[in-house]
Structure 1
Amino acid sequence: MEHSDIADDLESVLITEQEIRDKIAELARRIEADYAGERLLLVGVLRGAVMVMADLARELSLPIEMDWMAVSSYGSGTQSSGVVRILKDLDTDLHGRKVLIVEDIIDSGLTLSWLRANLGTRGADSVEICALLRKPAAAKLAVDVRYVGFEIPNAFVVGYGLDYAEKYRNYRDIGILAPHVYSSQ
């Protein structure tokens, strides 16, 4: 999906497709240096992290394995309920593994903090986090994130896997969604 397809729904483009590609490559080089000779498992958090996970995995030159998890902490609205539910668990045994959670965005940090703690109880040697985006102003809990692509303002962003009502995930850039799109719903 190109910018012209949704221009009326966006306030602005925050990060371009090329900037995302460059940042993924930069993160991959750091990960390669940190995990050289290790048996690394990437754990993608569905659904938003699909694009980040795919591009990061293709960019890495070291052997990796991949698995997916889906978790939810939302109640009926857009605010976190505080209760995390596993909707799809891992298929991989984590004992003795180096685990890198791959996320699209960190907002409050509540779900990611829970996820890291949960995976840490499964016998992994280490559990680290790689997130393309982080919203420092939205944080309710400090989460130690080893790899962060971009720090962004506390705005509603879509594209590159991020959605609003399951739309815009396939938009190639990351844009700030115009308030008229979500305030009328």
Structure 2
Amino acid sequence: MHNDIAEVLFTEDEIARRVDEIGAQITRDYAEATDEGIVLVSVLRGAAIFMADLARRIELPVEMDYMAVSSYGDGAKSSGVVRILKDLASEIEGRHVVVAEDILDSGLTLKYLLKNLASRHPASLEVATLLRKKTLAQAKIECKYIGFECPDRFIVGYGLDYAERYRNLPYIGVLKPEMY
């Protein structure tokens, strides 16, 4: 798999340091806000690795929950139609919710998801994204916590995949064009 990577954008150590920083910031931001802790919500599958690492770095009670959504008609370009395939198991009304996202690309799915979650009346709703791509057509989404800004290239690793491969790479790299 490593030979399929053209360039490493973020090393395992860089990712770990940045996730530590985000976890510490979330701990500070919510330290006085709640006795219940926060609910971390991951969008499956890509963000699961980021959320697991982030949860271990937050020094507050954390409940983890997952959603599965689909918005890609042909797998390469967003259709703009979002479907919830798996909903939350937790009630979030009156709770502090942080959505842990692997990458903010077009933002269409996340925009829909945030509207859906906001309708459930959480005490607060924020986004922690590991990566934010620099794209012109990106939906306007406020991300309180951003790991890294990244170029608009085909990237894999640390949860990000191509055809369900490369998620287990410990770093984030650019996939060689001949691989896709």
DSSP-derived class of the 2:24 partner: helix
Alignment deviations for residues 144-166 of structure 1 (CA, whole Å, 9 cap, x no partner): 00000000000010000000000
After superposing the two structures, state which structure 1 stretch, 69-78 or 111-120, moved more.
Answer: 69-78
Instruction: State the AA in 2 paired with 1:34.
Output: D
Provide the rounded CA distance (Å) in 1 between the counterparts of 2:57 and 2:137.
29
| CA deviation after TM superposition for structure 1 residue 139, in Å | 4.1
Please, which of 71, 74, 77 is the counterpart of residue 73 of structure 1? Answer: 71
Unaligned runs of 5+ in 2: none
Aligned-residue sequence identity (percent) comes to: 54
Residues 1:128 and 2:126 are matched in the alignment: yes
Instruction: State the AA in 1 paired with 2:118.
Output: G
Per the alignment, do residues 122 and 73 of structure 1 end up closer, same or farther by CA in structure 2, a change over 3 Å counting? same
| CA deviation after TM superposition for structure 1 residue 141, in Å | 1.1
Instruction: State the AA in 1 paired with 2:133.
Output: K
Please, which of 22, 29, 35 is the counterpart of residue 34 of structure 1? Answer: 29
- Calculate the TM-score normalised by the size of structure 2: 0.95
- Calculate the TM-score normalised by the size of structure 1: 0.93
Q: Is the 8 A contact 1:138 1:154 kept in 2?
A: no
Provide the rounded CA distance (Å) in 2 between the counterparts of 1:143 and 1:173.
26
Please, which of 161, 170, 173 is the counterpart of residue 159 of structure 2? Answer: 161
Question: Counterparts in 2 of 1:80-119, with a 5 A limit?
Answer: 80-119=78-117
Alignment deviations for residues 75-96 of structure 1 (CA, whole Å, 9 cap, x no partner): 1231111110001000011110
User: Residue 10 of structure 2 aligns with which residue?
Assistant: 15
CA RMSD of aligned residues (A): 1.0
Instruction: State the AA in 2 paired with 1:166.
Output: E
Unaligned runs of 5+ in 1: 1-5
Provide the rounded CA distance (Å) in 2 between the counterparts of 1:100 and 1:19.
22
User: Segments of 4+ in structure 1 off by > 2 A?
Assistant: none
The alignment of Structure 1 onto Structure 2 pairs a total of residues equal to 177
